[in-house]
Structure 1
Amino acid sequence: MISELELVGGPDGGPRPELLDAGGGPEREGPSPGDRARALAKLPWVWALGGAVVASAVWAGGLYAFRDQGPDQRGYRITAEACDKVPLSAISRKLGERDRPTDASDRSDDPAFRRTECHMGLKSTGARTSGRVTTYTAELLVEEHLKTDPGPELGARLTSGRYGADDPVVSPVAGLGDRAFFVRAPEHGYLEADLRLVVQDGGVVLTLSVTGNVDLNGNVTDPVDPKDLKPDYTGVPKLMESDMRELMAVLKK
């Protein structure tokens, strides 16, 4: 600790010469506020302490700004009409055009979290699985996390059975948002959707799903093992990636 005497005293501990009057007596009993300020200014620890205080203030300001604004929404403008804007340009060429009369949507909104869900039927192309007519549906789920970062819990959601009873096969996808994954059903396993592409982009999580529906009530009488009734999705993951890129751009307009 530095005492007041150390700050203002001379080499012998007495009053500094400039504080004595012409007669040799003290001109004043102690240092003026200006003397004390000049003495403090010469001490390096004062500047270090001041820098630490400023840095702490800047950090605290950034923290309060994050708490107030929440995670970056990356320019998305998700409105009640979002489902109408979903293009599915690539998927529809292979699996069928959108059958808009069968569409359905749902939306929930609160200050911390918004959820938009789109169910989209695709017109039949006559595709068959083991001789049975197969049609397809697509779903889009947009989750806007307005107060907290969805990243820490996303991995757990992908692998914890959130999308079905069996452990899914999760594969990373490069070049989409902050991070992206394909979620597939394991062989002979079950998921709510056969293919699911999950993308986190800032505070927004987008999930595009495709499911094939095999008609078991047709005129086909040959017995088929249920494991052989899973539709062929060859090439579909790349189509979903293309549609997701287009979709992300559309939802930011």
Structure 2
Amino acid sequence: MSTPPQQPESTPEPIDPQPPAAPSSAPPPSGQQAPAVPPQPTAYPYPNPQSPLPQNPYAQPAVSPQVNPYATQPGYGYPPPAGPPATGRNTAGRAVLWAVVGAVVASAAWAAGLFLTGGFGTSADLRGYRAPGNLCAGADYSSFKAEYPVDDSAPTKNAMKDPALDESSCSLSLKKTSTSYGDAYLTLQLDLHKKTDPAPEFTATWKNYGDSHTDYDVTPVHGIGDEAYLVTQDTSNGSTTSGSRYATLAVRDGWTTFTMYYSAYFSSYDSDTDPPSLADVTGWLKTDTRSTLQQLKG
């Protein structure tokens, strides 16, 4: 009986009794600094995507987002998104308070606008005057009849009505005889200012008429309206055949203004009589202006 051949014995590999210890994540003992772990070599030729890139010396520094200091200020940026409606007694009280304040401010602005534009209907102080369509028929100039007895058969009359101003005017020739030309002329105009008070401009115009027009005399007249001015000029220098005489009485009564204007040119005057003096003319203007203003009321 043959003996089977023996297998050669395999030599066991040496076993390291203690495998290398894995790096511990536990913190080092107090007072000791953890040893630095050297970078591990890698076959990847590019930087680790998770590792920071090297700093570019030419790159602009990153700008961190800044908070817009005006974003929450009134008048800047966009309003913040509306949050849930506020509730509570204090919030409701504030809402009611602001609503009342807003209503008061709006009412004050509305009232001021109406006052400035005459919307209340009482700011235009017209003193009851009405502007007729034919002022030639509605005015009184009878004081001039003794000097000029012939009526003008075709006087010029105009009228205008507007929400801001009503106006009536009349121009006529004063004649001593039945000639084709007038010996003198009379013009009347009534203005009802319904939106603006004419007082400042009226005073500036007529009180200072002598400053803006050469050789005119200005005299205040009392007892007619709120204020009145008589403006006169005589260029005849004592002659009865050359020169001229002018006289205007301008009156303001509230927001109503009225003027009566007389003019005479001696070159066209009737040579048989002398023209009336300025004293006579101004007296006629005052008398007929008072009468006309009374007729134009109501």
- TM-score between both structures, scaled by the size of structure 1: 0.59
Unmatched 5+ stretches in structure 1? 1-31, 34-53, 127-132, 221-228
Q: Is the 8 A contact 1:195 1:210 kept in 2?
A: yes
Q: Is the 8 A contact 2:143 2:288 kept in 1?
A: yes
Unmatched 5+ stretches in structure 2? 1-88, 91-103, 238-243
Per-residue Cα deviation, 1:125-148 (whole angstroms, up to 9, x for no partner): 69xxxxxx9822211011221100
CA distance in 2: counterparts of 1:152 and 1:102, whole angstroms? 36
CA distance in 1: counterparts of 2:199 and 2:245, whole angstroms? 22
Cα drift, residue 102 of structure 1 = 3.3
Cα drift, residue 164 of structure 1 = 8.1
CA distance in 2: counterparts of 1:84 and 1:219, whole angstroms? 30
* SS of residue in 1 equivalent to 2:289: helix
**Equivalent residue, structure 2, for 1:43:** none
Root-mean-square deviation (Å)? 4.1
Q: Is the 8 A contact 2:149 2:175 kept in 1?
A: yes
Q: Is the 8 A contact 1:135 1:212 kept in 2?
A: yes
Does residue 159 of structure 2 align to residue 107 of structure 1? yes
The percentage of counterpart residues that share the same residue type is 25
**Equivalent residue, structure 2, for 1:212:** 264
Aligned pairs, number: 190
CA distance in 2: counterparts of 1:239 and 1:101, whole angstroms? 22
CA distance in 1: counterparts of 2:236 and 2:175, whole angstroms? 27
CA distance in 2: counterparts of 1:92 and 1:159, whole angstroms? 30
Cα drift, residue 157 of structure 1 = 1.7
Select the structure of larger CA radius of gyration.
Answer: 2
CA distance in 2: counterparts of 1:116 and 1:163, whole angstroms? 28
Higher deviation after alignment, 207-216 or 156-165? 156-165
**Equivalent residue, structure 1, for 2:295:** 250
Bigger RCO (CA 8 Å, 6+ sep): 1
- Matching residue within 157, 168, 188 for 2:205: 157
**Equivalent residue, structure 2, for 1:78:** 131
- Matching residue within 176, 181, 191 for 2:224: 176
CA distance in 2: counterparts of 1:179 and 1:218, whole angstroms? 35
Q: Structure 1 152/89 Cα, relative in aligned 2: closer, same or farther at 3 Å?
A: same
CA distance in 2: counterparts of 1:150 and 1:141, whole angstroms? 15
Q: Structure 1 219/141 Cα, relative in aligned 2: closer, same or farther at 3 Å?
A: closer
- Matching residue within 135, 145, 148 for 1:92: 145
Q: Structure 1 125/171 Cα, relative in aligned 2: closer, same or farther at 3 Å?
A: farther
* SS of residue in 2 equivalent to 1:185: strand
CA distance in 2: counterparts of 1:91 and 1:216, whole angstroms? 18
**Equivalent residue, structure 2, for 1:64:** 114
**Equivalent residue, structure 2, for 1:194:** 246
Q: Is the 8 A contact 2:185 2:263 kept in 1?
A: yes
Q: Is the 8 A contact 2:130 2:296 kept in 1?
A: yes
- Matching residue within 283, 289, 292 for 1:238: 283
Does residue 166 of structure 2 align to residue 118 of structure 1? no
CA distance in 2: counterparts of 1:242 and 1:236, whole angstroms? 10
Cα drift, residue 234 of structure 1 = 2.8
Cα drift, residue 106 of structure 1 = 2.0
Q: Is the 8 A contact 2:134 2:168 kept in 1?
A: no
* SS of residue in 1 equivalent to 2:279: coil
Q: Is the 8 A contact 2:183 2:270 kept in 1?
A: no
Per-residue Cα deviation, 1:67-118 (whole angstroms, up to 9, x for no partner): 323421111111212221212122222x313623131112233221222220
* SS of residue in 1 equivalent to 2:190: strand
- TM-score between both structures, scaled by the size of structure 2: 0.51
